[in-house]
Structure 1
Amino acid sequence: MSSHVISTSRCDRLGGCLVIGSLRGHVIHQGTSEIVIDVQGVGYRVVASPSTVATLVAEQGEVVVSIHTHVREDAFVLYGFSNSSEREVFEILLGTHGVGPSLALSILGTMGAAGVVTGVRTGDSSAFEAVSGVGKKTAARLVLELQDSLAAHAAGDDHGLSLPSPESEDRADVSAALAELGYSNDEIRRAMAAVDGSEPIEQALRLALRELSRA
């Protein structure tokens, strides 16, 4: 399948324009919180959480990245996600008072899309306090505002959010941990082949490290 960019031209009040909805290509550069994707010879710089970066670089061959295009007078930034549900949660977070792209990405990177939705639905503001820069009062306000936002989103979507399973998010966390430890993309791919996703995250990390120790 050829590399491609999916584009539309609708913009919204949050500074988000669906100029680019997704990218399909190869990761040619990675940083802690960004990747560059080669799409038919054009390199697109995409900002993403460390766990998303680790997930994408661990994949072999082409990757598909769900994109939120954020446009301001002084910037045009692509935010990348491993699936469309993560992007939807990111965009819901952006609609919350006082939440910009950096904080929204930090919340997603810390909690995961499923964690955000679960925390909001159960009223667990303490889960948001684990995010750097989010205090007790802010966490409580986020939960309150997001309850309305998620309800409105669900009412306007017959299918609702198709969230990634906890197992898939655990795999992303293990990949991110291995990347933080300095393992290469090839090593991470090999290690993750030994993890089926059903194990607790601590056990999955031990299995991955055991696989790497066999080299």
Structure 2
Amino acid sequence: MIGRIAGNLLEKNPPQILVDCSGVGYQLDVPMSTFYNLPALGEKVALLTHFVVREDAQILFGFATAQERETFRQLVKISGVGPRTALSILSGMSVADLAQAVTLQEATRLTKVPGIGKKTAERLLLELKGKLGADIGAGAAIQNDAQSDILQALIALGYSDKEATLALKALPKDVGVSEGIKLALKALAK
């Protein structure tokens, strides 16, 4: 119904924003990834939207990229995952991180998001398998089991998903697990 909103940004109160479009103020809920990239108050903003109509509410969700909106739509199709939960997932991890978690079937990465328990994480992995994956980005960086093991080891050692993925990209493609972990730790120590 409403596919895009463009206007002046009037208010920013996480996770809600208010956008003035020719004198009409639209209140949108946005994931934190979009929120952090918003311009200053009073400046022009354009967001893709998803409109949810329920018996007790009409809610407009805004997204900076088409990729975020499509991922949100895939999430709300899953039984037990509503718009608020989908927004929480996209606020807790990037689309690329979600795609990578789905590709590697890592439920523990999803359970780090507030409101996502083990059963919901497993349902998400099952339902999203093949729908996000390598076509969204970061999942393509994982070429084989050795790289997957290296990534999981770095995360277990306390490095963030982004740090571990960046270290993994710097490694030779055919590196073994133990050698890869050593090289990644050296790179991360710099």
TM-score, reference length from structure 2? 0.66
Change (3 A) 1:140 1:162: closer
Residue 50 of structure 1 corresponds to which residue in structure 2? 32
The residue matched to 1:97 in structure 2 has which SS? coil
2:32/2:90 contact within 8 Å kept: no
Question: How many percent identity over aligned positions?
Answer: 39
In structure 1, the gaps of 5 or more residues are 1-18, 155-159, 164-198, 201-215
1:85/1:162 contact within 8 Å kept: no
- Counterpart of 1:38, as a letter, is D
In structure 2, the gaps of 5 or more residues are 139-161, 164-190
2:16/2:30 contact within 8 Å kept: yes
User: Of the candidates 119, 131, 137, which is equivalent to residue 137 of structure 1?
Assistant: 119
Distance in 1 separating the partners of 2:86 and 2:109:
14
What aligned pairs does 1:142-161 form with structure 2 within 5 A after superposition? Answer: 142-150=124-132, 161=136
Distance in 1 separating the partners of 2:30 and 2:81:
16
The CA deviation at 1:114 is 1.3
User: Of the candidates 49, 60, 64, which is equivalent to residue 67 of structure 1?
Assistant: 49
Distance in 2 separating the partners of 1:58 and 1:162:
29
Residue 35 of structure 1 corresponds to which residue in structure 2? 17
The CA deviation at 1:58 is 4.5
The residue matched to 1:56 in structure 2 has which SS? coil
Bigger Cα Rg? 2
Distance in 1 separating the partners of 2:98 and 2:64:
16
1:67/1:81 contact within 8 Å kept: yes
What aligned pairs does 1:149-188 form with structure 2 within 5 A after superposition? Answer: 149-150=131-132, 161=136
TM-score, reference length from structure 1? 0.59
Instruction: String of CA shifts for 1:20-51, please: whole Å, max 9, x gaps.
Output: 10111110111021000011111100011233
Instruction: String of CA shifts for 1:140-172, please: whole Å, max 9, x gaps.
Output: 221111115447xx9xxxxx6589xxxxxxxxx
1:25/1:40 contact within 8 Å kept: yes
The CA deviation at 1:100 is 0.2
